[in-house]
Structure 1
Amino acid sequence: MNNPFAKLPEVEAFRLTSHDIAEGLPLPPQQYASGVEGGKDLSPHLKWSDAPEGTKSYAVTAYDPDAPTGSGFWHWAVINIPANVTELPTGAGDEHGTGLPQGALQLPNDARLERFIGAAPPAGHGPHRYYFVVHALDVEDIGVDRSATLAVLGFTMLGHTLGRAVLVATGESK
C-alpha cells in the first residue's frame, strides 16, 4: 500500500486523538461529504500532545492516498496554527474557519475550496484511508501563499517539520 511518508525524512512522532474519529476505524457519517447520505463535511475534533521541543507552529492536513487520481486527494489543510494551540473542535474547518485560532489559514483543498471537504470514495472502489496529520513546524509562519497547492505546502514544510502526529481512519462508498 502506498505510504504518503515513505520518501520523506523520518521525524519525531507525537500523540493525536479525536472525539470523532479513531485509528483504523470507519469515519462517522458527519465526516463524509455533504453529497453522501448523512455527510456533513464536518472536520473532526483533533487534539494533540507531546510535540517536539522547538515547535513554533502547526499545520493540519487531511489526505486520501487511495483516491483514484494518481496523486490522491487532499481534503483539508490549515497552516500557521500557533504553538500554544493543541486542539481543534469538530467543524473548525468550515468555510469561515469558525473554530480555528487567530492567524491560522485554510489553504484550498483539491476541490479548490478553503475548507474541509468530507470523504466521498467512488462506488465500488473499496476502502480508502484518510490520513489526519498534525505537523509540528520550526517556524511561526510556513510562508506559503494562501492560493498555494498542497503539494507546494508539503514541499515547503519538508525542511521545517520537527514531528508528525498521525491518525488514519477509513471510509468506503455509502
Structure 2
Amino acid sequence: MLRYLACSLLFSLGLAQGLELHIPAFASGQIPAKYTCVGENLSPGFTFAHLPPGTKSLALLFWDPEFPKGLIPRWVLYDLPPTAEVGEGLARAAALPNGLKQGQNGLGKIGYDGPCPAKSAPYQIDLYALNVATLGLPPGAAWHQVKAAIQKHRLQEAIVKVSFRR
C-alpha cells in the first residue's frame, strides 16, 4: 500500500514520467514519403527517454492497425540495448551491431517495410521497455513470436500513432 501511495504521489507531482518514444521525422504526426514505398522506404531514426527502473532491453513494433485483411507488421526490432541509438536507414539484416535484432515484416522479409496504402492509413509504433537483456529469440523471428515474448517481460510501453496519405 505504501508503495502504491508513493507512486501515486510521484505521478501527481509530475516527478515520475513514463517511457517516451521520439521519432523526429514523424513529429508532425504524418509519415513523410521518404519512409514509404513511394519514397526511399528508409526506416526512421528514433530515440527514447524515461526508461523505467530495471530496463535491460527494448523492443519496437511498427504496424498497421486497420489493414482490412489482418495485422501487417512493418518493422520488428528487439534486443535493443537501453543505451543504443537507432539511426535512420537501418540495414535490412536480421542481426545488427550491439545485439540488436530485426524480425520479419508483413512481406516475410527482414527489416523495415514502410507504409504503402492505396490512399491513406493510420499506423502505430509501440516501444517496450523489457526486464531482460534478450528475448531469447533468434534473429529474423516472426512478429507473433516477438509479441508473445514481449508480453512476458514488459515493464512499460510507449505508443506513437501516425498516418500516411498519398
| TM-score, length of structure 2 as denominator length | 0.81
What is aligned with 1:7?
Answer: none
Task: Tell me, in whole angstroms, the C-alpha distance in 1 between the residues paired with 2:145 and 2:79.
Answer: 15
Superposition pairs of residues 38-117 of structure 1, within 5 angstroms? 39-69=39-69, 71-85=70-84, 87-92=85-90, 94-96=91-93, 101-117=97-113
Amino acid at match of 1:60: L
- Is the contact between residue 67 and residue 121 of structure 1 (CA under 8 Å) also seen in structure 2? no
> Which of residues 122, 131, 140 in structure 2 aligns to 1:138?
131
Higher gyration radius (CA): 2
Task: Tell me, in whole angstroms, the C-alpha distance in 2 between the residues paired with 1:13 and 1:151.
Answer: 25
The one-character-per-residue Cα deviations of 1:89-147 (angstroms, maximum 9, x if unpaired) are: 1112x32479x542111111111111101110134xxx322112221110011012334
Change (3 A) 1:60 1:107: same
Task: Tell me, in whole angstroms, the C-alpha distance in 2 between the residues paired with 1:152 and 1:18.
Answer: 25
> Which of residues 7, 18, 21 in structure 2 aligns to 1:16?
21
Amino acid at match of 1:139: V
- Percent of paired sites with the same residue: 25
What is aligned with 1:156?
Answer: 149
Q: How many residues align?
A: 150
Ranges in structure 2 where 5+ consecutive residues have no aligned partner: 1-16
Amino acid at match of 2:77: V
State the Cα distance separating 1:88 from its structure 2 match.
Answer: 1.0
Amino acid at match of 1:30: K
- Would you tell me which structure has more helix in proportion to its own residues? 2
Moved over 4 A (4+): none
SS of corresponding position for 1:165? strand
1:26 matched to 2:30? The reply is yes
